[in-house]
């Protein structure tokens, strides 16, 4: 684009969102170029600049967002939505330049609806602020990802995020009522006023998980819950993971705990030992039960009797409480994996009967083909029918190539192998971190000809392909 | 870039960490990604690695930080972004890449001893100061913010100490530049010299009572750390507590509910969130915001309001909203910057007062 035309476009964007909310400054471009994706961090660590936007805009509402998208569509400029950049898949990185649309000015709380039990907010609100809003009035959001303080409502929706209490309260896609979405052509639409209905396919679920490729979610009604009267923790040590899976599956046919987390032997003897203090060998599992005190009492009895059948050692409440207190401590620099290490979380999900096999197959594949990589895992979100695996590979700094391009290749080779192994054994490409630029290529391997449904949506809604190009395999 | 090894380690830790994204009062108000500890750290780490130049843009973002320590306090593993921000401000100054509005403030400091330039002092305040004895055991240090921006607060502080029968004075020509210099260019020679001047001015007094939390924090933290300030300095709230304890002030406990806006600099840097509560408990009912005490969220900043007034207005508005949700009727503050921003944002039916005003109303 010529300098003249660029300046013309810029003045249109400034007209749309206000000059102070439209930036071509290097500091803003840099701030929006590195997200939580390991490759972007590695690139910056080596002193290289990641792809940057040509302009960063911060609209204040759907109307301004619409104006930006109309301009972008006319000039066919890529638009990348940026929430807080806490995504791990490079989803918010402007790989093709263009406009970065930062949603954080849309962070207002519009309605605290106690009757309907939801908060209506701009999607640029950091989720922790929603939690504060709820807590101030005696409620809770019950969406407790480790990134509660790092990421926006829109980011969680766009990535299909999940929190630690998901077994009882659901994933982000269970926590939303109505949404306001700005389509790539600038039209502002609303999904159905209630999330359960028989008025055709669920519009919410088309945009949830679409990672900014089909439009911008600008407002959402997020559910709130009453604070539980009682919350009890119980830690267990299983002899092996098979017993733990069987126990967990059986428990879930009886009632739903809020937290269910099973750590493999490797993670039990590393992270859990370090942060929670469990020093014995085995697979640690932490369970939280919460709600009305009377029910919690009964559920606790069921939990103890069910797990006893599978030979679990009852470690009491201490470790679980410690874990709850420290649940985000794991993620601070100093406790978390960091450069020069190479690492990644290859989360997948599958029904019982497949999930444990996926674990062993992924472990075998990674450790045999990449002996320099360590493989650890836990299983943190459980359903009546299956569970997710949160497995990580870690390569120590000394084994990471110094040339960033070579490091990128090794990174992608490990990912390809890990995710392909999961898919091959009945797992899904990702559980809750999304796809982004990191896993786009593997979407086709997951869905095969079903991809045409996504292509169709993309083509119809975004014929100029301006929205978040090269993400989600679209 | 001339910063310490510790600062380099800190920005390298923070640059890829999102954990305190929610806590920054400035980032929350602007919605700008650059206004986060992580983005600031990323830019500095790139400067360090030669991927970005330390220029006016990078340095202007350093000045969009209130140094409120919200991020540092929230950081479980103990990193402190304010350290690298302050050191980088000085580095930017040494490299001559400060934004023009910061240069103006520094020029004001050099020419007039206050960042606010040539401000004619409020006549009533001048008169009140002139009427005080020239020598006393206690020095009330009003600070640049009160003298230039909120003389009514300064007058109330004087009135309160008089009501307590304290033998005190206020310097006509206060050395008011230490805090501002420290905020703007950190441990520069100019700041050390300003601290030293203040220390000399404080020398004849047994106790120095700092009216504004921002000044108190600078003297008590950096001033002491550098070994330049030796005086016995107390914050205004802590001094009021001692006056109440000694029976010099005997406020009547009323039914007014006060919602506390902790001064971040006093609560976090001086580790004192109890003095204001002790005072409030003596005069009325205490009401707390959800995020309060040492975890408090900044509600205003006088110096920053000179160069980013709209942002500071939003900071005040956001904090006032939290106060309203907490049921605030009267919000009580510990520094001028927060008093001004919160007052401007107060809806009808909510009053903002400074601590001395609250106590005076109960005498
Ligand atoms: C320390 C840490 C721990 C984490 N733990 C968890 C966890 O426990 N559970 C979990 O689910 N995730 C976790 N994550 C990942 C991250 O929090 C989620 O992926 C989150 O959804 C990202 O939100 P964001 O606002 O940061 O989005 P960004 O990174 O800015 O964007 C993510 C994607 O969403 C799109 N997007 C953002 N906002 C919108 C919008 N309004 N409309 C349309 N598209 C949009 C972007 O274009 C991009 O594709 C963690 C991340 C970190 C840093
Ligand atoms: S201060 Fe702590 S929480 Fe904040 S960015 Fe730095 S390391 Fe992360
Ligand atoms: S010190 Fe305060 S203003 Fe500065 S980055 Fe930290 S929280 Fe934000």
Please report which confidence band the pLDDT of residue A356 belongs to, taking 50, 70 and 90 as the band edges. Answer: very high
Say yes or no to pLDDT of A308 above 90.
yes
A323 lies in the same domain as A240: yes
For residue B311, the ligand closest to its alpha carbon is 3
**Is A145 part of a structural domain of the chain?**
yes
What's the mean pLDDT in A255-279?
A: 90
Residue A340: is the preceding peptide bond cis (ω within 30°)?
yes
Record: contact A30-B39, CB cut-off 8 A: yes
For residue B85, the ligand closest to its alpha carbon is 3
pLDDT, one tens digit per residue, over B55-80 is 999 999 999 999 999 999 999 999 99
Q: How far apart are CA A268 and CA A239, in angstroms?
A: 12
Residue B294: exposure state from Cβ atoms within 10 A (0-12, 13-18, ≥19): middle
A300 lies in the same domain as A367: no
Task: Confirm if A283 and A244 have CB atoms less than 8 A apart.
Answer: yes
CATH classification at residue A64: 3.30.43.10
| Amino acid B207: pLDDT | 97
| Amino acid B177: pLDDT | 87
Q: Does the beta carbon of A87 sit less than 6 angstroms from any atom of ligand 1?
A: yes
Going from the Cα of B179 to the center of ligand 3, the distance in angstroms, rounded, reads: 17
| Residue to mutate (ligand 2; options B7, B11, B12, B13; most atoms within 8 A of CB) | B13
Q: Does the beta carbon of A150 sit less than 6 angstroms from any atom of ligand 1?
A: yes
Q: Does the beta carbon of B315 sit less than 6 angstroms from any atom of ligand 2?
A: no
A157 lies in the same domain as A198: yes
A37 lies in the same domain as A88: yes
Q: Does the beta carbon of B139 sit less than 6 angstroms from any atom of ligand 3?
A: no
Low-confidence residues in chain B, pLDDT < 70: none
Cβ contacts from A onto B, under 8 A: 129
Residues of B in contact with A128 (CB under 8 A): 22
**Is A37 part of a structural domain of the chain?**
yes
A281 lies in the same domain as A383: no
**Is A70 part of a structural domain of the chain?**
yes
What's the mean pLDDT in A327-340?
A: 91
Tell me which of A273, A299, A331 is where a domain ends.
A331
| Amino acid A429: pLDDT | 97
Q: Give the number of the atom of ligand 1 that is nearest the alpha carbon of residue A331.
A: 1
A45 lies in the same domain as A118: no
Q: How many CA atoms lie within 13 A of A193 on its CB side?
A: 1
| Residue to mutate (ligand 1; options A68, A145, A378; most atoms within 8 A of CB) | A145
pLDDT, one tens digit per residue, over A214-246 is 999 999 999 999 999 999 999 999 999 999 999
Task: Confirm if B249 and B243 have CB atoms less than 8 A apart.
Answer: yes
What is the ipTM, given to two decimal places? 0.96
A213 token code pair = 């490729």
**Is A467 part of a structural domain of the chain?**
no
Going from the Cα of A159 to the center of ligand 1, the distance in angstroms, rounded, reads: 6
Record: contact A49-B19, CB cut-off 8 A: no
A237 lies in the same domain as A304: yes
Q: DSSP alpha helices (H): ranges in B174-272?
A: 177-185, 189-202, 213-218, 224-225, 236-245, 264
How open is the CA angle A310-A311-A312, to the nearest 5 degrees? 95
Phi first, then psi, for residue B254 (nearest 5°) are: -105, -170
Say yes or no to pLDDT of A1 above 90.
no
pLDDT, one tens digit per residue, over A274-299 is 878 888 999 999 999 999 999 999 99
Record: contact B34-A27, CB cut-off 8 A: yes
Tell me which of A306, A331, A356 is where a domain ends.
A331
B193 token code pair = 């010299």
Domains of chain B from N-terminus onward: 5-98 (1.10.1060.10), 123-241 (3.40.50), 250-360 (3.40.50)
Range of the domain at A197: 109-226
A383 lies in the same domain as A448: yes
Interface with chain B: mutation pick from A31, A331, A397, highest number of B CBs within 10 Å = A31
Say yes or no to pLDDT of A469 above 90.
yes
DSSP E strands in A227-310: the ranges are 230-238, 259-263, 283-291
Going from the Cα of A91 to the center of ligand 1, the distance in angstroms, rounded, reads: 8
Number of other CB atoms surrounding residue A466 within 10 Å: 23
pLDDT, one tens digit per residue, over A167-176 is 999 999 999 9
| Amino acid A71: pLDDT | 98
Using DSSP, state whether B113 is helix, strand or coil: coil
Record: contact A149-B33, CB cut-off 8 A: no
Distant-in-sequence, close-in-space partners of A455: CB < 8 Å, separation ≥ 6: A474
A304 lies in the same domain as A403: no
**Is A405 part of a structural domain of the chain?**
yes
A108 token code pair = 């207002």
Q: How many CA atoms lie within 13 A of A423 on its CB side?
A: 16
pLDDT, one tens digit per residue, over A445-463 is 999 999 999 999 999 999 9
Average pLDDT, chain A: 96
B77 token code pair = 């593993």
CATH classification at residue A440: 3.30.300.330
A292 lies in the same domain as A357: no
**Is A470 part of a structural domain of the chain?**
no
CA distance A156 to chain B (A): 15
A81 lies in the same domain as A161: no
Q: How far apart are CA B160 and CA B132, in angstroms?
A: 13
Q: Does the beta carbon of B24 sit less than 6 angstroms from any atom of ligand 3?
A: yes
pLDDT, one tens digit per residue, over A360-372 is 999 999 999 999 9
CATH classification at residue A180: 3.30.465.10
Share of chain A above pLDDT 70, in %: 100
Say yes or no to pLDDT of A348 above 90.
yes
Our count of domains for chain A comes to 4
Q: Does the beta carbon of B301 sit less than 6 angstroms from any atom of ligand 3?
A: no
Q: How far apart are CA A320 and CA A313, in angstroms?
A: 14
A117 lies in the same domain as A196: yes
Q: Give the number of the atom of ligand 3 that is nearest the alpha carbon of residue B23.
A: 7
Q: Give the number of the atom of ligand 2 that is nearest the alpha carbon of residue B36.
A: 5
Going from the Cα of A344 to the center of ligand 2, the distance in angstroms, rounded, reads: 21
DSSP for B296-357, please give it. ------HHHHTT-HHHHHHHHHHHHHHHHHTT-SEEEESSHHHHHHHHHHPPTT-EEEEHHH
Q: State the Rg of chain A over Cα.
A: 23
Say yes or no to pLDDT of A253 above 90.
yes
Q: Give the number of the atom of ligand 3 that is nearest the alpha carbon of residue B298.
A: 2
Task: Confirm if A141 and A153 have CB atoms less than 8 A apart.
Answer: no
Tell me which of A205, A226, A247 is where a domain ends.
A226
pLDDT, one tens digit per residue, over A43-59 is 999 999 999 999 999 99
């Amino acid at each position: 684009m010529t300098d003249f035309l660029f300046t013309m476009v810029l003045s249109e964007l400034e007209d749309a969102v206000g000059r102070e909310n439209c930036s071509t400054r290097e500091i803003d471009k840099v701030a929006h170029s590195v997200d939580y994706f390991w490759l972007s961090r590695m690139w910056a660590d080596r002193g290289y600049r990641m792809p940057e936007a040509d302009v960063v805009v911060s609209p204040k509402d759907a109307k301004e967002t619409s104006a930006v998208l109309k301009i972008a569509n006319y000039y066919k400029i890529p638009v990348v939505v940026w929430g807080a950049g806490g995504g791990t898949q490079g989803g918010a990185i402007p790989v093709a330049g263009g406009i970065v649309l930062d949603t954080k000015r849309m962070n207002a709380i519009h309605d605290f609806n106690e009757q309907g039990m939801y908060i209506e907010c701009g999607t640029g609100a950091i989720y922790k602020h929603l939690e504060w809003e709820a807590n101030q009035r005696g409620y809770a959001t019950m969406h407790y990802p480790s990134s509660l303080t790092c990421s926006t409502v829109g980011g969680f929706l766009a990535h299909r995020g999940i929190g630690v209490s998901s077994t009882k309260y659901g994933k982000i896609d269970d926590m939303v009522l109505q949404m306001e979405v700005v389509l790539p052509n600038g039209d502002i639409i609303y999904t159905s006023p209630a999330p359960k209905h028989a008025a055709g396919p669920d519009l919410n679920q088309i945009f949830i998980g679409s990672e900014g490729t089909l439009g911008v979610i600008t407002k959402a009604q997020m559910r709130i819950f009453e604070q539980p009267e009682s919350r009890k923790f119980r830690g267990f040590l299983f002899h092996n993971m098979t017993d733990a899976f069987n126990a967990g599956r059986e428990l879930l046919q009886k009632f739903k705990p809020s937290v269910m987390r099973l750590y493999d032997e490797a993670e039990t003897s590393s992270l859990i030992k370090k942060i929670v203090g469990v020093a014995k060998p085995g697979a640690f599992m932490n369970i939280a039960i919460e709600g009305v005190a009377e029910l919690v009492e009964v559920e606790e009895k069921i939990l103890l009797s069910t797990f006893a059948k599978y030979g679990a050692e009852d470690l009491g409440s201490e470790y679980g409480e410690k874990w709850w207190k420290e649940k985000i401590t794991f993620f601070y620099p100093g406790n978390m994996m960091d450069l020069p290490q190479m690492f990644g979380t290859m989360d997948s999900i599958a029904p019982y009967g497949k999930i444990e096999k996926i674990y062993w197959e992924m472990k075998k594949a990674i450790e045999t083909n990449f002996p320099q990589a360590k493989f650890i895992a836990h299983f943190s979100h459980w359903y009546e029918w299956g569970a997710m695996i949160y497995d990580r590979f870690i390569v120590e700094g000394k084994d990471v190539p110094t040339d960033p391009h070579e490091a990128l290749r090794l990174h992608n080779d490990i990912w390809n192998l890990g995710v392909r192994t999961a898919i091959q054994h009945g797992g899904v490409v990702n559980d809750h971190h999304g796809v982004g630029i990191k896993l786009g290529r593997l979407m086709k391997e997951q869905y095969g000809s079903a991809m045409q449904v996504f292509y169709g949506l993309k083509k119809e809604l975004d014929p100029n392909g301006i929205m978040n190009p090269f993400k989600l395999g679209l | 870039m001339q910063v310490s090894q510790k600062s380099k380690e800190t920005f390298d830790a923070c640059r890829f960490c999102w954990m305190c994204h929610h806590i920054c009062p400035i980032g929350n108000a602007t919605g700008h990604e650059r206004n986060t500890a992580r983005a600031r750290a990323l830019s500095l780490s790139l400067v360090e690695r030669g991927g970005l130049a330390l220029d006016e843009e990078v340095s202007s973002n350093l000045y969009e930080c209130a140094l409120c320590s919200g991020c540092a306090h929230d950081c479980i593993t103990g990193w402190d972004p304010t350290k690298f921000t302050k050191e980088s401000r000085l580095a930017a100054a040494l490299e001559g890449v400060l934004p023009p509005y910061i240069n103006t403030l520094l020029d004001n400091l050099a020419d007039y001893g206050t960042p606010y330039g040539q401000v004619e002092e409020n006549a009533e305040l001048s008169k009140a100061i002139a009427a005080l004895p020239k020598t006393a055991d206690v020095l009330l240090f009003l600070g640049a913010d009160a003298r230039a921006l909120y003389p009514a607060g300064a007058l109330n502080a004087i009135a309160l100490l008089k009501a307590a029968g304290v033998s005190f004075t206020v310097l006509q020509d206060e050395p008011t530049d230490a805090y501002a210099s420290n905020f703007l260019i950190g441990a520069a020679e100019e700041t050390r010299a300003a601290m030293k001047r203040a220390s000399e001015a404080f020398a004849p007094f047994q106790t120095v009572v700092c009216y504004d939390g921002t000044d108190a924090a600078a003297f008590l933290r950096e001033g002491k750390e550098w070994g330049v300030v030796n005086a016995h300095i107390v914050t205004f709230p802590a001094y009021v507590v001692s006056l109440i304890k000694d029976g010099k002030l005997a406020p009547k406990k009323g039914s007014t509910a006060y919602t506390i806006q902790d001064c971040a600099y006093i609560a976090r840097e001086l580790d004192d969130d109890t003095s204001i509560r002790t005072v409030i408990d003596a005069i009325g009912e205490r009401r707390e915001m959800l995020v309060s005490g040492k975890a408090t969220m900044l509600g205003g900043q006088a110096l920053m309001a000179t160069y980013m007034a709209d942002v500071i207005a939003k900071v005040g508005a956001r904090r006032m909203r939290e106060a309203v949700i907490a049921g605030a009727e009267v919000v009580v503050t510990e520094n001028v910057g927060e008093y001004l921003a919160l007052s401007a944002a107060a809806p009808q039916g909510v009053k903002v007062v400074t601590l001395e005003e609250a106590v005076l109303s109960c005498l």
